Amino acid sequence: MSIMGTRVLRTEDPRLLTSGGVYTDDLRLPELTGAAYVTIVRSPIAHALITGIDAGAAVAQPGVVAVLTAADLPAPPEGGDPTDEPLLAGDRVRYVGEPVALVLTEDRYQGEDAAELVSVDYDPLPAVPGIEQALTGETLLFPGTESNIVGTDTAGGCDDASFDGCDVVIERTIVNQRLAPVPLETRAMAAIWANDRLTVWSSTQNPHLARGDIAEALGLDNAAVRVITPDVGGGFGAKVAVDRDAVAVAWAARHTGHAVRWIENRSENLVAMVHGRGQRQTYKIGGTRDGRVLAYRLDVVQDCGAFNRLATFLAELTIKMAAAVYDFAHAGASYRAVVTTTTPIAAYRGAGRPEAAAAAERAIDDFAAEIGMDPAEVRRINVVPPDKFPFTTLTGETYDSGEYAAALDRVLAAADYPALRAEQARRRERGDALQLGLGLSVYVEITAGDMGGETARVVVDGTGAATVFTGSSAHGQGHDTAWAMLVQDELGIPMDQITVVHGDTDLLPDAIGTFGSRSLQLGGTAVVKAAGEVKDQARRLAAEMIEASEADVELDTARGTWQVRGDPASALGWGQVAQRAGPDGLAADARFDASAPTFPFGAHLAVVEVDTETGKATLVRHVTVDDAGRILNPVLAEGQRHGGIAQGAAQALLEEVRYDADGNPLTSTLVDYAAITATELPSFELVASETPTTINPLGAKGIGEAGTIGSTPAVLNAVIDAVSHLGVRHIDMPATPEKVWAAINEAKAGR
């Protein structure tokens, strides 16, 4: 029986549960003995000119190896883009947390002491702490530019005339707030420069992309840089490639010739690792009172933070996915992206797609409330029907496959939606303090949308054991287990004889890595292709050895042996065949490039209780369909859904990065940033659903971000639904007790 689709426990876990993983700061390698600890001096002010840096007192401290500033960096190229981000701030800082200097010390604790003594003179400039201030253009982040707008684009078309014929038109501006990714392991790096080569250990999702970024910044060839990823303690998009802070650490190794190591503390992480989301969204939705939406328009202002690292790309994704799961007669979207004196925004679980879904799902509920129709019914009327796939949206994406109404109906049935509505009605009737809210979302997302492909190598040695080299770098997803399952299924070599290797640019020089829910469909398919090529080689050799024609030789995948068809007595083991190939055994490289992205979809129902006296909203049930095509290992897929649901619910209820009017971060510790805990979540109710795609031979779509995309709007809609009978029509995220309480009281006052 094939192992595909079965519940296999992770091979990664025994190590992680006993001796613990080996994360970057855990490395005790000989080449890092005596490495200097790097402490980063960061800007304490949002926007200022640097008028002087005096490191004298710091350099005089015990154990200080070096203090490095922008003055030590190579001069930027003539005529370079003034908005390019330097490794260390030179004449100006643009966010609290921006790296200004590196302090290298012999001992970890010495670094913090010495860093405090680096004296930086700042001449403050007005802060631009958010979208509103950025759009006025009164203070420009980059002198010489005309405005703070760094990008605009449109998708589809939907003008005022598109709303002609609508019975109801609603326009509303909502917030998709800035979030902190908070991987439990903060950013970390170690680096050595030896024999004209830089070796870097980095907590990254993409060693190969990190290699390219580091090589470019340091003026080295890719071949002169080796990046190794030890265990990585979570990424969630925020560890895609490598940030300037980490590149600066690598540069310090090159510049000083000293081995270095660095791990940021959490207070640094919350201001200097990228943030996610950060959009102001204005939607306009119109339709008829029978529930048909005729036109939908989304206008986004994307906060990039101080530098446009990836934010315009996120906004592009948002507008391209703006039409969501719906077959609207008219749909369009636009964005403007602005720089602000805040931490740069980049990818965070979903990265542009949750923003699109949050807007559309809020708009649908808004419309349903206005026409007095059940939001489930409005969705059923407007989603793309199954017979229209592949379906090209008005905002320009072609969805491969989907069963949107069916997903919705399965969730409603699993949750017993009518019973929940009846309970809600009873509580409303009684005027209970604890009101019940039901929130829905139906979503689609784009995965493996980067079209970069992925690589793999499969080797079978003379003992019959296999080694899989994969370009997909893991940080908790369970690639070791998943890839071993794929190879066992393809070659019949048992999982315990398969080693999976990832995260070393010298071992597999060409790869992309992990983001955008791409690993299984691209990296997994590459593994299957490489294994298939090994199988072809083995077939030829086995035929020679058995002296049979290739056509008569078969692989018995149950036993992992090659034999003449129907003649088990002729069986050869993988080890024998690999020995025949030579001392290096059998090996094949493969690359898989998909012809198109895939579009996972699903439906979520959140059940929330709101205490109308305090405004506190509690998520009490969460029921989901998350259809990611064919499932390789339900244990892993469910784990991805769980984590995604929690992070999405956290955005709806709790989490928000906040700044004051001067651009000072107000959420720079985990005391202030409300990372969601076990007490704030229920157990989740997952409904299985598999609609395979034809885009790759595994039939798989991405699952890493789906839960987040579905849960945020479902949970927020549930909170609002709980108090809608009191006259509340919208609450901005996060729906904290304060905001919910205020919304209830404003609605009462307005009546």
Partner 1 sequence: MKVAIGVNGTRVEAEVEDRLLLAYFVREVAGLTATNIGCDTTSCGACTVLLDGESVKSCTVLAAQADGREVTTCEGLAGADGQWHAVQRAFRAEHGLQCGFCTPGMVMAAVSLLAENPDPTEAQVRAGLEGNLCRCTGYHNIVRAVLAAARDGQQRDAGARYGQARGLPGEAP
Q: Residues interacting with partner 1, by CB under 8 A?
A: 9-10, 12-14, 16-23, 25-26, 28, 108-109, 182-186, 231-234, 236, 265-267, 475-478, 635-636, 638-639, 642-647, 669-671, 675, 677-679, 681, 683-684, 707
* Choice between 524 and 643, CB closer to partner 1: 643
What tokens appear for 452 in the block?
Answer: 């970069």
SS3 at position 377:
helix
Task: State the minimum distance, in angstroms, from the CB of residue 44 to partner 1.
Answer: 17
Question: Closest CB to partner 1 among 226 and 479?
Answer: 479
Judged by beta carbon, residue 28 or residue 430, the one nearer partner 1 is: 28
CB of 504 to partner 1, least distance (A): 19
Residue 446 tokens read as 């784009």
Smallest separation, CB 188 to partner 1 (Å): 11
For residue 260, give both structure tokens.
Answer: 């270095």
Closest distance of CB 622 from partner 1, Å: 9
Q: Which is nearer to partner 1, 476 or 629 (CB)?
A: 476
Q: How far is CA 76 from CA 70, 80, 83, 88, 91, in A?
A: 10, 7, 12, 12, 13
> For partner 1, which is the closer residue by CB, 346 or 531?
346
Q: Which is nearer to partner 1, 75 or 671 (CB)?
A: 671
φ and ψ at residue 671, rounded to 5 degrees: -75, -35
Q: How far is the CB of 644 from partner 1 (least distance, A)?
A: 7
The tokens for 63 are 């154990």
The amino acid occupying position 73 is L
CA atoms within 13 A on the CB side of 390: 13
Burial of 116 (0-12, 13-18, 19+ CB in 10 A): middle
Nearer to partner 1, 462 or 602 (CB): 602
Tokens of residue 234, six digits: 């979570």
Phi, psi of 349, rounded to the nearest 5 degrees: 0, 100
> Least distance to partner 1 from the beta carbon of 105, Å?
14
Q: Across-strand partners of 685?
A: 623
Please state the closest distance from residue 178 (CB atom) to partner 1, in A: 17
- Nearest distance from C-beta of residue 667 to partner 1, angstroms: 12
Closer by beta carbon to partner 1, 188 or else 338: 188
Contact 366, 329 (CB under 8 A): no
Q: What is the DSSP-derived secondary structure letter of residue 275? A: B
For the bound state, the minimum distance from the C-beta of residue 116 to partner 1, rounded and expressed in Å, comes to 14
Question: Which CB atom, from 453 or from 503, has the smaller least distance to partner 1?
Answer: 503
Q: Does residue 74 have a cis bond before it (omega within 30 degrees)?
A: no
What sign does the CA torsion over 375, 377, 383, 389 have? Answer: positive
Burial of residue 72 (CB within 10 Å: 0-12, 13-18, 19+) is middle
Q: Other CB atoms closer than 10 Å to residue 628's CB: what's the count?
A: 30
Contact between 487 and 466 under an 8 Å Cβ cutoff? The reply is yes
Report the alpha-carbon distance of residue 91 to residue 81 in Å, rounded: 15
